[in-house]
Amino acid sequence: MSSLSQILPGTGRGTSEAGGGGSPLDVASVEAPLHPAATRRGPPPRAGEDFRIELPSTREESWRWGDPAAIAAAAELPRGVALDAGEWFLDLPGARAVFVDGVLDEGRRDLRHVTIVPIDGGSHALGRRTTGLGWSLRVDADATAELIQIVHIATGGDNQLPAEIVLANGASASVVETYVGAGWSNRSTRIVLGKGAKLTRAVRLLQAGGFVSLRDEVEIGAEASLIVTVLGAGDAGTRIDGAITVTGDDAFAEYGGALLTRNDQRQECAVSVRHAALNGQSKQIWRAVAADKSTASLAARVEVARDAQKTDGVQSLRGLLLQRTATVNLKPELEIFADDVKCAHGATVGELDQRALFYMQSRGIPHAKAQALLTRAFVGDAFVQIADETVREAFVADADAWLERAL
């Protein structure tokens, strides 16, 4: 059955509609045993060594739909042979890099602006595990970096990798990341945008198995722009965890995408945008499609500080159930301390329009094809902000491939 949760604006109190999705795990703490290699960036441990990972309790709102058991299972997947990265790069010029199990493949790289340096993954439960060597993109003032494509290949077990993107005043860059393979891929990314800087980032989560966890921490300076689009269209579990802070006046942040789930898969996102400056704008446009007995969960939060007057924040969370055995959880949230703002949110869960399906079938379109066309249009709302046509077409193709498997 579908499930929709919503926080009332400015209250922190929750309401539930269209229930039946089941209650989240209710435990005081989470400790999941994982493969020993997950704590290390070097050689495998000696036989008999073990460790445990501590994650926040699922009693915490941002983790209420978390699935720590899936992380443990992903880290135990047996190691295999790496996929060929060539087929996952888009036909676009620019820098390219391949990371196999979190380690740069020296034979398949064209780094240009990217360097490999030690990076602190921060204090977040997932981020701090990534501390070590990672990739860094730093662009000087008023410079433009060529498109950077990064393919992450998981071969089983676990892999950790930090990253940082730092754009000086007036700089611009575009990044496309693609995740394939199987295992636990854990990533942290720190993003800092100077005055007038512009960053577009597209993330394709296409792993066939295991789990992908992303932790993004972003600071956006005055007049800067951030556009991030994420598509979860593989068969792995997913957690997207983002904390965006708008620190400068007249800045813009858009962070959204689509999660497509099937079988018993679970994908979730928990993204917060904090406005701490004047005239800020933010958008969180998310779409979720759930088939079979899968679960997709979207939690989007906007915080407006007392001095962040003239803030304009938009949230649009929509879920589509392909079968009533699936679950979509939605939780938009606003916390506003300023008195001159324009913030709005909306959250809906539904099924495909039966009248539209009937009409299309009456015109000779097979049922599965009609479902695919309507679902494609629904998901497409989350891709309109992708300016590059080749990148946008890749996202549509990834969604189409998922629909072929799901319908």
Other CB atoms within 10 Å distance of the CB of residue 152: 27
**Sign for the pseudo-dihedral over CA of 178, 181, 182, 188:** negative
Alpha-carbon span 292 to 322, nearest angstrom: 7
At 269 the three-state DSSP class reads: strand
Q: What's the mean pLDDT in 95-124?
A: 95
* Choice between 27 and 357, residue whose per-residue pLDDT is larger: 357
**pLDDT surpassing 80 at residue 329:** yes
Distance (Å, rounded) from C-alpha 32 to C-alpha 35? 10
Mean pLDDT, rounded, for 296-312: 97
pLDDT band at residue 52 under the 50/70/90 scheme: low
At residue 53, the pLDDT reads: 65
Alpha-carbon separation of residue 162 from 72, 135, 310 (angstroms): 20, 7, 35
Parallel, antiparallel, or unpaired for β 114-119 and 103-110?
unpaired
263-303 pLDDT tens trace:
999 999 999 999 999 999 999 999 999 999 999 999 999 99
Among 21-25, 190-194, 207-211, 359-363, where is mean pLDDT lowest?
A: 21-25
pLDDT > 90: percent of the chain: 82
Least Cα distance to 351 among 380, 374, 369, 333 occurs for 374
Q: For the chain, which residues make up each domain, given as ranges?
A: 4-353
Q: Which two tokens stand for residue 55?
A: 């994650």
**16 or 399, which is more confident:** 399
CA distance 73 to 162: 22
Query: Other C-beta atoms within 10 Å of 407: how many?
Result: 15
Q: ∠ at Cα 186 (182, 191), nearest 5°? A: 135
**Least confident range of 3-12, 244-253, 300-309:** 3-12
- Cross-strand bridge partners of residue 33: 52
- For the residues 347-362, what does the mean pLDDT come to? 97
